[in-house]
Chains A and B, each alone.
Chain A
Amino acid sequence: GQNIDQPTEMTATEGAIVQINCTYQTSGFNGLFWYQQHAGEAPTFLSYNVLDGLEEKGRFSSFLSRSKGYSYLLLKELQMKDSASYLCAVASGANNLFFGTGTRLTVIP
């Protein structure tokens, strides 16, 4: 089975840095995705990690530790438009995605 945990809600200030954690227990791990989803819209791809370490992409970075079953998404220089849900998804088997419950991030002025 799959067990993926994320905090339900987070609040951060515009211009700050926020780290969203994700822990997982899964069989047949084939990588971990982070998606952003604004209310009522489709999830959009942010990052993919399959090897341990940090992947940086502009203001967004994602980290993976396979031995610890742990990942985080780091958002720098927060903007109001970053207010959204952030979904951690584990790829298992033949690219089946299992999503965590998502973290609703609110960016305040």
Chain B
Amino acid sequence: DTEVTQTPKHLVMGMTNKKSLKCEQHMGHRAMYWYKQKAKKPPELMFVYSYEKLSINESVPSRFSPECPNSSLLNLHLHALQPEDSALYLCASSHSQGAGETQYFGPGTRLLVL
């Protein structure tokens, strides 16, 4: 089973709202990732968690706040977003953060900020 699940599939929010994106995997993977993908562009890395600790933050604005409550779950808390934050948000996981470990992607949450 190489399934990564994400909820919700679609989300529309205003600029003053607070919402959360959720990601879950039960493959025993210890590295989890958040990517942002704009239309017709490649995914761009936002955050990496390794063994439930934040390993990488690619200079992401503080209106995006990641959280890893346990080894199976990864959240992305959203607050005071801007319209340009509208994108597909992809979660991925890999066995570890070791070099060459395959990352498996979830189906993504399509976010629209009004």
Asked if B45 contacts A42 (CB within 8 A), the reply is no
- A-binding residues in B (CB < 8 A): 4, 31, 41-45, 48, 50, 55-56, 88, 90, 94, 96-108, 110
A99 interface residue (CB < 8 Å to B): yes
Query: A35: shortest Cβ distance to chain B, in Å?
Result: 8
**Given the known A-B contacts A42-B90, A87-B42, are A33 and B99 also in contact in the complex, defined by CB atoms under 8 Å?**
no
3 tightest A-B CB contacts, nearest first: A99-B42, A30-B99, A42-B105
Q: Would you give 8 A-B contacts (Cβ < 8 Å), ordered by A?
A: A30-B100, A40-B110, A41-B108, A42-B4, A94-B56, A95-B98, A96-B48, A99-B44
Asked if B105 contacts A31 (CB within 8 A), the reply is no
Asked if B106 contacts A48 (CB within 8 A), the reply is no
